[in-house]
Amino acid sequence: MTEEHPFAKYVRIIGKGPNLSRPLTNDEMYEAASLIMKGEIEPLQLGAFLCILRMRTEVPEEGEGFVRAVRDTLELPPAPPAVDLDWSSYSGKKRQLPWYLLAALLLADNGVRIFMQGTEGHTPDRIYSRVALEFLGVTIASSLAEAADHIAAGNFAYLPLAALSPKLQDIIDLKPVLGLRTPVNTFGRMINPFAAPYELQTVFHPNYRDVHRDTAKLLGQPHMAVFKGEGGEAERRPHKPVQVQYLHDGELSEEEWPALLPEESVKVDEDMDLSRLKRVWSDAEEDACGAAAVNGTVAIALRLMQRAESPDDALAQARQMWDSRDKAKFEG
């Protein structure tokens, strides 16, 4: 008799049919994800596991176990930096420029220490954070230690997932093979390696908002906000109202933020010319949609970090930051 593979029981638990299958517990997912991260499973098992989870939709307990297993594999520097805001970037942009990057850099210029991690290339015809940041002249970190140095020097670091966790990047790269996004797209965002007290999350599909927030609560994340972002990135859609859901010290709440611009004023960007990011920042070109996206995103971050008493106060602070920005930042 052939001995059963140790990972087989986890596939069986989630895949035994509509009446007998069930979600994994926190500890079961931790054990399963630990085997995945160690490479101690067969490719066929991984494919089956990922597809079943995607078809059924992951639950927060599975997210908590998954993230714990990933965190066990991280190579943190001896003295991790004090980070204020953890910001993930997994979706890429295809309809609007990545204005959220200007928002993050504006916050960094105003003293907010930000760690951003993300991935790229899993979906064709999108602009990802790494490409846009390199265009803006921002150095990309190659390790958590280097990210720590970047945060110390300029309050901002971007680390590609391939450097943060090569195994997770390998799983995301399976999308063209499986035809589906994987749980990594959901839970990889929540690794928060430097244990920032504030975490900004966004979704493309609104039904994932509760999964993110409830997973964060199980992980003991002190503060987080999640909302439906532009294209799935952490960027305010200025022509749409937005529901922002919060987690503060275990308490759940939400706010409805009104649209900033008329619906008809925002058009799909057919050119996606990255040089416009620099021109709008420097005031060489006016773009009401871009400026509103930046200010609206900064406002949500300020409100999350409890630096504003209301959405209106947060937006007023964001606009003041934007008006006072160093317009020569990207010159040279």
Convert the pLDDT of each residue in 7-65 to its tens digit.
Answer: 999 999 999 988 899 999 999 999 999 999 999 999 999 999 999 998 888 899 999 99
User: Which residue shows structure tokens 């921002």?
Assistant: 138
Rounded-to-integer distance, Cα 59 and Cα 61, Å:
6
Fold designation for 85-323: Pyrimidine Nucleoside Phosphorylase; Chain A, domain 2 (3.40.1030)
Domain borders along the chain are 8-71, 85-323
The pLDDT of residue 332: 62
The pLDDT of residue 148: 97
Of 38, 41, 42, the closest CA to residue 72 belongs to 38
Quote the mean pLDDT of the chain: 93
Model confidence at 176: pLDDT above 90 = no
pTM: 0.95
The pLDDT of residue 203: 82
The pLDDT of residue 269: 85
Per-residue DSSP letter, 127: B
Model confidence at 1: pLDDT above 60 = no
The answer to whether the beta carbons of residues 144 and 159 sit under 8 Å apart is yes
pLDDT digits (tens, 9 = 90+) for 195-246: 999 999 998 777 778 889 999 999 999 999 999 999 889 999 999 999 999 9
The pLDDT of residue 19: 87
Angle between helices 60-71 and 26-37 (to 10 degrees): 40
End-to-end CA distance of the chain: 69
Model confidence at 147: pLDDT above 90 = yes
**Mean pLDDT of the 248-254 span:** 96
Rounded-to-integer distance, Cα 59 and Cα 51, Å:
14
The answer to whether the beta carbons of residues 327 and 281 sit under 8 Å apart is yes
The pLDDT of residue 235: 96
Model confidence at 249: pLDDT above 60 = yes
The pLDDT of residue 270: 86
Give domain 8-71's CATH superfamily.
Transferase, Pyrimidine Nucleoside Phosphorylase; Chain C (1.20.970.10)
Backbone angles phi, psi at 159, to 5 degrees: -125, 120
Query: How many CA atoms lie less than 13 Å away from 287 in the CB half-sphere?
Result: 25
pLDDT digits (tens, 9 = 90+) for 64-107: 999 999 999 999 999 999 999 999 999 999 999 999 999 999 99
Backbone angles phi, psi at 127, to 5 degrees: -100, 125
Model confidence at 122: pLDDT above 70 = no
